[in-house]
Every structure is written in structure tokens, then in C-alpha cells.
Amino acid sequence: MIVMNFIYLYLNRWIEVWPYLLPLSIFFFQRHKNKNTRLLFIFTCIAFILSLAGTITWRYAYLFPESFKNNNILYNAGSIVRTVFPALYILQLPSIKPLRYLWYIFSGYILFILLSFFFWDDIFILSTIQHSAESILILIFTISFYLHLIVDDEINLKSVIAPLVFCTGISVYSSVNFFIYLFFYPVLNTDEHFSYKIYNASLYSLVFYWLMTGLAIYLHGRQPVKTIKPATV
Amino acid sequence: MNSDITYLLVLGIAVMLGLMLSVLLAVMLSFRKKNQHRRAMEALREQQQNQLIEAAIRSEEGERHRIAETLHDEVGAILSSAKLHLLGIKQQELDERDKRLHEKGAGLLNDVIKRVRGISHNLHSNILKEFGFNEAIRHFLAQTTGASLLETETAMDDRYPGAGPEKDMSLYRIIQELVNNTIKYAGARFLRIHSVYTAGELTLQITHNGSGLSQEEFETFSFKKEGLGLKNIRNRIFLLQGSIHFSKTSGQSTIILKIPVISEPQPSTHETH
């Protein structure tokens, strides 16, 4: 019982770190690596490093000098990475290439974030604008992807199963986190206890996010099945 | 104020999640619908392909039948008449040289009549219709390899009830093609056809000691333009919903045919023998 509690405690304390190990380990054990798995791997690596650095800074803040104790810049960078890489991943999917407007939205997001951090936001404070923009952009991209799947009759499930799994993970995460970050400071200021609870919900959705990313990496590495047809008359 | 934000937050998350799950559900339902449609289209395409193959095979059989009839009824009749005329020549009036020529001519004519009859029977097997598949195979093998150096053996399962005239004809043609190929290309000295009928499935095994095909070679040749015989085998197997497997080891080649049989008794039985 004590051991179980101990494991649970540590899993909870490092919940922002260990979920990344799922997709990373799947990538390392995978035989067939392709363009998609590599992009997801680079994304996972960068996000993992930022998240690990953020958690270490938080857990062992007493070891760092005063100017390095603030980990909000790492969280903001993590959020930008979680927006840019999935967006690029969706944009390079062969089935999504005709949707040119997504490129304009993506460019608009980059411009908006640059302007935001220049004029309104402080990079050293957890940016609810960036986190909410992350959710909105991911939701626009994933919904466009889903609608494209519904409309296009030529697409079959087997060919898009990996992107579908990945988009499920990021869209569920974004759905949960949009309102959490939109009301992050008002909730924190009025009901601190509830804000911790809701932040835990956000962390559980993060576990789901990386679980689905791992599954997507695994599915991308699978080879298509060969079929034999009868001879033509 | 406090509970308002909490309420708004929980409601917002629930609505967003609900919307997202609805979209996901819509995607899954659309894929299910598209899958059903695709399957229906594939079934239709397969049906069309089956009809095409069936039509091709039927027209081939019709043509064989027509050629066999022409050979038997017209060419055969003319040859028989020629033989009668030849036999009508009074040999006593011929000198030794003419007698020899007459005998040689009569012998050659007999040979031609036999061969024409053989070709006619091969093209349209009456034995298959009258005595069934097993007897037709025994007869075909005896006729085809009788005069050659190839030693043959048959062990046909008499429990096989027949799969219907058309299916049996297809199966007969497959065996015919395989045996002819073995004679032509494999250089075999011994050939054995063995059949087993169990639980609605006929398994036919052709074994010979020549240099046969491997499964990969069969797959390759049956898609080549010049491999018409193998292509026909492949199409007939596809139509019979069966399978064919080629294998070879040093000194022995084996072909295994598996055909599902929905019992459809043949029009004539062994009793009429």
C-alpha cells in the first residue's frame, strides 16, 4: 500500500514529464521510420525537453539563482511548440494539401503571437492568450481535417488512421484546455482549490495527448498489406 | 461570482468536449457509411469480373465444342469416306510397289482418323458428361500419355459427387492444361493424380518428377501476356472460388488444387457404364 502510494505520488509529481516517454519509446523500438514519425519524434523531443526543464525548475527552484526560478517562459515555449508542430504535421498530410486557407490561418497565428509578446503579453508570465490561441488554432485545424475526411469519398480509414488518432489526442486536449486557460487567472484568484483541481484535469488530458501521439507514431510505422488479384480476361 | 466562473468553466469544457466527440462520431459514422458503399461497389465490380470471366470461358467452351463437332462430323466423315474409297481398291491388281504404297496410305489414314477423333474428344469431353469427372480424368490421362514415355497413375476419390457440369468442365480443363504443360515443359517420367473429397471440398494433387513451377513462377507467368494457359487456370480457379498451390523440391513437383463443392449431383452416374 505504501509502495503504491509512493508510486502514485511520484507519477503525479512528474506527470508533465513521463507521458512523453510513451511516444519516444515507441519511436525507438519502431522498425519502419518515415517522414511522419520523424516529425512527431522531433516534436516530442522538443516538448519533452521544455517540459522536463519546466518541471525541474519548479521542483528544485531552491537550487537555482533568482533569475532562473521562473519557468513560465518554458511553459509559453511549450505551448508554441504544441501549436506549431501539430499544425505543420496536419498541413503536410497528403489528404489535407488542397486546404490552402489553413496556411493563411497558420501565418496569421505566427503574426498574432509575435505581436502579442511584443505589445500585450509578458513572456515571463504564463500567457493565457498563447494557450487559448493554441487551443483555437488546433481546434480549427483538427475540425478542418475531420470535415475533409467526411466530405472526401476517396479517403479510406486505413490510410488516415494514424493522423486521425493524433488529431483525436490533440483535439480532445485542446477542447479541455481552451476554457481552462481562458479563465485561468480569474479562477485562480477566486477559488484556488478549484483551480488546482481543474489544472489536474488539464494534466490528465496531457497524458491522453501523448498516449495518442505514441499510438499515431506506432500506426505510421506499420506497412500496408499486399493483396493478390485475379488475372484480367 | 465565484460559482459563476466555476459553472461557466465546467459548462464550457463539457460543451467543447461534447462538440469534439460529436464531430469524431460523425467522422466514424461517415467512414462506416463509405466503407459499406465501397464494399457494395467492390462486390459489384467482382460480380462484373466474374461475369466477364464466365462469359470468356463459356465462349471458349462453345468454340471448342464447335471445332470438336466439325472435326468429328465433317472432317471425320470425309476421312472415313476416304478410307472406304482406299479400301475399295482391289489389291490383287496392284504390283508390289503399289501394294506397299496402298498399305502405307491406309495406315497413315487410320492414324489421322484416330488423331482427329482424339483431338475432337479432348476439345469436347463426352466422357465427362456421361461418366463424370473421375472417369474423364482417368480416360484423359490414359489417352494423352498412352503412347508416350510418361508413366501415369490415378487415385481418384469416388465419393466426389460432382460440382455441376460447368464447374466440372472447368476443373477438367485445369487438369488438362496442367498435364499438357507437364508433358511439354517439365520433362517428367512419372505423373500421379490423386483426389480426396472431404466435407464439401475437393483436393486434387498432381505430383510428377519433372521440373515444375514454383508458386512465385506461377504468379509471374500467369500475369504475362504469353502465359495464356496459366491465365486461364487462374481465372477458372478464381471462378470456382478455389485455390492452387505450386511447390517443387529437387526431383519432385507438386500442384495442389482445393475447390469448394456444393453438392450438385452429376446428370449421369457410373451405373450407365
A132 CA to chain B: closest CA distance, Å?
13
Query: Average per-residue pLDDT in chain B?
Result: 84
pLDDT, position B102:
87
**Residue B127 scores a pLDDT above 80:** no
Which among A157, A194, A231 is the nearest to B6, CB-wise?
A: A194
Cell of B189: 517420367
Flag whether residue A42 sits within 8 Å of chain B, measured between CB atoms: no
**Residue A198 scores a pLDDT above 50:** yes
Could you tell me which of B166, B169, B157, B159 has the C-alpha nearest to residue B127?
B169
Which among B2, B12, B26 is the nearest to A191, CB-wise?
A: B2
Contacts of A70 (CB under 8 A, 6+ apart): A57, A124
Chain A neighbours among B 191-250 (CB < 8 Å)?
A: 219, 222-223, 231, 234-235, 238
Contact criterion met (CB < 8 Å) for A183 and B13: no
Q: Are B143 and B182 a contacting pair, CB within 8 Å?
A: no
Please give the average per-residue pLDDT across B210-217, as a whole number: 86
Please give the average per-residue pLDDT across B139-149, as a whole number: 75
- Cα B216 to chain center, whole Å? 19
pLDDT, position A206:
93
Please give the average per-residue pLDDT across B252-271, as a whole number: 71
Q: Which of A150, A181, A229 to mutate to test the interface with B (most CBs of B within 10 A)?
A: A150
Quick one: which H or E segment has residue B243? strand B243-249
Which among A143, A150, A194 is the nearest to B30, CB-wise?
A: A150
Which one-letter amino acid corresponds to residue B199?
A
pLDDT, position A225:
40
Integer angstrom CA distances of residue B206 from B120, B192, B203, B247: 25, 6, 10, 11
Residue A73: how many CB atoms within 10 A of its CB? 18
Could you tell me which of A162, A173, A177 has the C-alpha nearest to residue A89?
A162
B137 CA to chain A: closest CA distance, Å?
26
Please give the average per-residue pLDDT across B84-111, as a whole number: 86
**Residue B268 scores a pLDDT above 60:** no
pLDDT, position B40:
93
- Percentage helix, strand, coil for chain A under 3-state DSSP, each rounded to 5: 80, 0, 20
Contact criterion met (CB < 8 Å) for B27 and A171: no
pTM tops 0.80: no
Q: How far apart are CA B221 and CA B233, in angstroms?
A: 11
Contact criterion met (CB < 8 Å) for B27 and A175: no
Chain B environment of A187 (Cβ under 8 Å): 5-6, 9
**Residue B146 scores a pLDDT above 70:** no
**Residue B271 scores a pLDDT above 50:** no
The count of C-alpha atoms lying within 13 angstroms of the C-alpha of A116, restricted to the half-sphere facing its C-beta, is 19
pLDDT, position B129:
77
Cell of A14: 512528474
pLDDT, position B89:
85
Please give the average per-residue pLDDT across B226-248, as a whole number: 84
Contact criterion met (CB < 8 Å) for B27 and A146: yes
Chain B environment of A190 (Cβ under 8 Å): 1-2, 5
Higher-scoring residue by pLDDT: B263, B22: B22
Contact criterion met (CB < 8 Å) for B13 and A191: no
Please give the average per-residue pLDDT across B3-9, as a whole number: 83
Residue B206: how many CB atoms within 10 A of its CB? 21
Q: How far apart are CA B202 and CA B262, in angstroms?
A: 10
pLDDT, position A177:
92
pLDDT band of B225, cuts 50, 70, 90: low
pLDDT, position B265:
53
Q: How far apart are CA B200 and CA B262, in angstroms?
A: 6
Higher-scoring residue by pLDDT: A84, B177: A84
pLDDT, position A109:
94
Residue A154: how many CB atoms within 10 A of its CB? 7
Higher-scoring residue by pLDDT: A155, A95: A155
**Residue A81 scores a pLDDT above 50:** yes
Chain segment B38-57, per-residue pLDDT in tens: 899 989 998 888 888 888 87
Q: How far apart are CA A23 and CA A224, in angstroms?
A: 21
pLDDT, position B138:
87
Chain segment A113-153, per-residue pLDDT in tens: 999 988 888 888 989 899 999 999 999 999 999 999 888 88
Q: Does the interface predicted TM-score (ipTM) exceed 0.90? A: no
Contact criterion met (CB < 8 Å) for B20 and A139: yes
Could you tell me which of B82, B148, B157, B80 has the C-alpha nearest to residue B114?
B80
Contact criterion met (CB < 8 Å) for B9 and A179: yes
Chain A environment of B23 (Cβ under 8 Å): 143, 146, 171
pLDDT, position A227:
39
pLDDT, position B147:
59
Contact criterion met (CB < 8 Å) for A156 and B13: no
Which among A156, A190, A194 is the nearest to B1, CB-wise?
A: A190
Go through chain A and tell me how many residues it has.
233
Flag whether residue B19 sits within 8 Å of chain A, measured between CB atoms: yes
Please give the average per-residue pLDDT across B3-23, as a whole number: 89
Q: Are A39 and A89 a contacting pair, CB within 8 Å?
A: yes
Could you tell me which of A220, A170, A217, A221 has the C-alpha nearest to residue A25?
A217
Chain B environment of A230 (Cβ under 8 Å): 49, 53, 234-235, 238
Give backbone dihedrals phi and psi of A74, rounded to 5 degrees, phi first.
-70, -40
Chain segment A12-29, per-residue pLDDT in tens: 888 888 999 999 999 888
Residue B254: how many CB atoms within 10 A of its CB? 15
Q: Which of B27, B50, B226 to mutate to test the interface with A (most CBs of A within 10 A)?
A: B27
